Amino acid sequence: MGKIILKNIIHRKWSFIVTILINIVALSMIAMSVYIYENTTYCEKIIDKSMRYDIDNIGIITVGNLETEEGYMYDDMGEISQSMVNELKENDKIISVGAIGIEEGFDNSDIAKIQHELIDNEDNKNNNDDDELLHYYGMDSGIMDMFNIELTEGSIDKTIDTSDELTNYVYLGEGYKKKYKVGDVIDIQYKNDIHYRMIVNGFFSSKGIIAEPNVISTTAGFTSDKCCFKLKDSDVIIVHNMAYNGAVCFMVWNDNYSYDEIQNEVNKLAKRYDKTAHVVKLSKIIKEKVKEGNEISGYIMDVLWIILVTAVIMVTCIQITNILNNTSQYGIMYANGFSAGSIMTMLAVETFLNTIIAAVMSIVVVKKLIKFIFTAVTDENEVIDYIFKEYVIGVDILAAFIISIVSIVIPMIIIYRMKPVQLIGGEDT
């Protein structure tokens, strides 16, 4: 049977090739649409994934003279004081609270210099790639457990004293493991007169993802996937206090309490400090940010259906022509003891083979194309790989199956309704 299918494909190579081409075009367009669709909603998913808690129970606290109740614009945000945060930490309705700031920079930034210092100590120069974006996370100890940071050594300590600005507790990426161990004290001389002291508190794996607070806390939409950072082996987390510049204060509350209760609680506290406070739910922020993206996604879904239907119609037409041109073959097979079922199986296998080949080829081609186009702009290879693995491949294979199944239905009905006698009649012509 396999041999017969192979022979059929070889003998109808042109229609097979044309069908594959149509399938490749259609499936590539589908793959591309799925990628764009998933990319616009990527931030929503990845932020959700980066958090250890439900994003309905996570919020950002703004303090100051906030007039607009709805907004969450932070551009003139007043600073929340360390003592307010400390009080919130004591509150048993609140699980975690604290600020986080992220800095990234190329070779000449202050942070990069400190990190290079660490790396140089390690004699690991190959990480000193000029293009490498170095990340340096300043994090309140009270918030470290909010993110899905996986520590491979050491543990999260929420009571770390951060009052001495020149002595910092740090968590390091796995890249530093060869040189340092938990408990090590690293002294770094910087600009001759400043001495940093870093105490290694633990190591984190590169599996973690950190939501980008600057994107979350401003009105900027999720236009790129720079809403999150994937932890790298060269990254450093410094347990910081609130004086960290540009920090955004997150909090996680116990899900036994409603948002309103928490908002009241924070307001009461703020009043004592003569301030107003506003808690904005992370889920709400994300929802607003993806709203725009969703509109685009709606169009993409429409386009996707049109492509799918067009491909199905075209492939069906080719199949029908194929079958009508080959009725005598099916008739001869009938007369020689093949069942209708086996003949239909043969057709189905041919069709599936075709679309599966096309699906695999389209996935490879589109991935190459997307990497070529998008990595130049914003998207990272990792994001592309992730979206392909999680969504594009699955949807594309599913679409291939749909095309196969739907396009085989009409030809099968034709064959089934033709009497064997009629089929063999095709031999005379």
CA nearest to 286, candidates 53, 36, 35, 72: 72
Q: How many residues does the chain have?
A: 429
Which member of 65, 131, 163, 341 binds another protein (CB under 8 A)?
A: 341
Q: Which stretch binds another protein (CB under 8 A): 164-172, 273-281, 361-369, 421-429?
A: 421-429
Which member of 329, 351, 354, 362 binds another protein (CB under 8 A)?
A: 329
Cβ neighbours of residue 222 closer than 8 Å, sequence gap 6 or more: 40, 42, 43, 44, 215, 289, 290, 293
Which member of 294, 339, 375, 378 binds another protein (CB under 8 A)?
A: 339
Cβ proximity to another protein: between 109 and 328 the closer is 328
Q: Which stretch binds another protein (CB under 8 A): 37-45, 96-104, 195-203, 324-332?
A: 324-332
Q: Does 65 bind another protein (CB under 8 A)?
A: no
Collapsed DSSP state (helix, strand, coil) of residue 227: coil
Least distance to another protein, CB of residue 358, Å: 24
Alpha carbons 56 and 282: distance in angstroms, whole number: 7
CA distances from 390 to 48, 149, 259 (A): 15, 21, 33
Q: Which residue has the tokens 């997150």?
A: 250
Q: Binders of another protein: how many residues, by CB under 8 A?
A: 24
Least distance to another protein, CB of residue 46, Å: 53
Cβ proximity to another protein: between 176 and 330 the closer is 330
Q: Does 337 bind another protein (CB under 8 A)?
A: yes
Least distance to another protein, CB of residue 364, Å: 32
Cβ proximity to another protein: between 260 and 341 the closer is 341
CA distances from 197 to 159, 163, 188 (A): 19, 13, 6
Other Cβ atoms less than 10 A from the Cβ of 75: the count is 7
- Indicate the residue type of 59: G
Alpha carbons 131 and 267: distance in angstroms, whole number: 45
Which member of 332, 357, 369, 412 binds another protein (CB under 8 A)?
A: 332
Collapsed DSSP state (helix, strand, coil) of residue 29: helix
Collapsed DSSP state (helix, strand, coil) of residue 99: strand
Q: For residue 89, what are its two tokens?
A: 């930490």
Which member of 338, 352, 386, 401 binds another protein (CB under 8 A)?
A: 338
Cβ proximity to another protein: between 294 and 339 the closer is 339
Q: Does 14 bind another protein (CB under 8 A)?
A: no
Q: Which stretch binds another protein (CB under 8 A): 117-125, 294-302, 313-321, 328-336?
A: 328-336
Q: Does 414 bind another protein (CB under 8 A)?
A: no
Alpha carbons 109 and 117: distance in angstroms, whole number: 12
Q: Does 157 bind another protein (CB under 8 A)?
A: no
To the nearest 5 percent, what fractions of the chain are helix, strand and coil? 55, 20, 25
Q: Does 1 bind another protein (CB under 8 A)?
A: yes
Other Cβ atoms less than 10 A from the Cβ of 272: the count is 9
Q: Does 328 bind another protein (CB under 8 A)?
A: yes
Residues 342 to 361 in contact with another protein, rule: CB under 8 A:
342
Cβ proximity to another protein: between 316 and 329 the closer is 329
Which member of 335, 364, 373, 409 binds another protein (CB under 8 A)?
A: 335
CA nearest to 287, candidates 61, 74, 56: 56
Q: Which residues contact another protein (rule: CB under 8 A)?
A: 1, 4, 7, 11, 328-329, 331-342, 419-421, 424, 427-428
